[in-house]
Amino acid sequence: MSKYVNHFIAIAISVLLLAACSKKQAEELKPVVPVNPGTQVTYTGFVQGLLQSRCAGCHAPGRGGASAWSFNGYSSVTANADKIKQAVLVSKTMPLGGSLSAADLQSLQTWFDSGMSQ
Ligand code: HEC
C-alpha cells in the first residue's frame, strides 16, 4: 500500500515540477521591450531605415503598394501617419507577407507617440 502512496507522491511532484517549468517558459516568451522609455526615437535615427528596408520595396512609385502610399522621405510618412499607424500598429496588415519584431513595433509606436521627430 505504501508503495502506491510513494508512487502517487512521485507522480504528483513530477506534475508540479512540469507545471512550474511550463509556467516559467511562458513568462520567458513574453515580448521583450528593449526601448528605454527615456530614449528618443527619431526619423533619421530609426524610422527611415526601417521603412526603407521593410516597406519601400512595395511602397515606391511603380511598385505594388504605391497607390496606397509611396515612401518618399519624412513628409511622405508624416502626411500618411494615420494610415501607417493603423496598418502597422493596429491591424498589423503591413508589412504585407511579413511582420516587424516586437522591438521595432515598440520603437515605431514611441516615435508616433512622441510627435514624429525628424
Ligand atoms: C510585399 C509588398 C508590401 C510590403 C513589404 C508593404 N506593403 Fe503596404 N501595401 C501593399 C499593398 C499591395 C497595399 C494595398 C495597395 C492598394 O490597395 O492599392 C498596401 C497598403 C498599405 C497601406 C494602406 C492601407 C489602407 O488600409 O489604406 C499602408 C498605410 C501601408 N501599406 C503601409 C506599409 C508599411 C508602413 C509597410 C512597412 C512596414 C508596408 N506597407 C509594407 C504592399 C506592401
Ligand 1 neighbours (beta carbon < 6 A): 51, 54-55, 57-59, 64-65, 67-69, 83-84, 87-88, 94-97
Backbone angles phi, psi at 27, to 5 degrees: -65, -40
Asked whether 59 and 96 are in contact (CB, 8 A), the reply is no
Record the pTM. 0.76
Q: What percent of the chain has pLDDT over 70?
A: 69
pLDDT tens for residues 77-91?
Answer: 999 999 999 999 999
Q: Which three cell numbers stand for residue 48?
A: 527611415
Confidence of residue 40 (pLDDT cuts 50, 70, 90): confident
* Closest CA relative to residue 31, chosen from 86, 105, 109: 105
> Which residue owns the Cα nearest ligand 1 atom 16?
68
CA of residue 88 to ligand 1 center, whole Å: 9
Domains of the chain, residue spans: 1-30, 43-113
pLDDT tens for residues 65-77?
Answer: 999 999 999 999 9
Q: Which three cell numbers stand for residue 86?
A: 493603423
Q: Which three cell numbers stand for residue 40?
A: 528618443
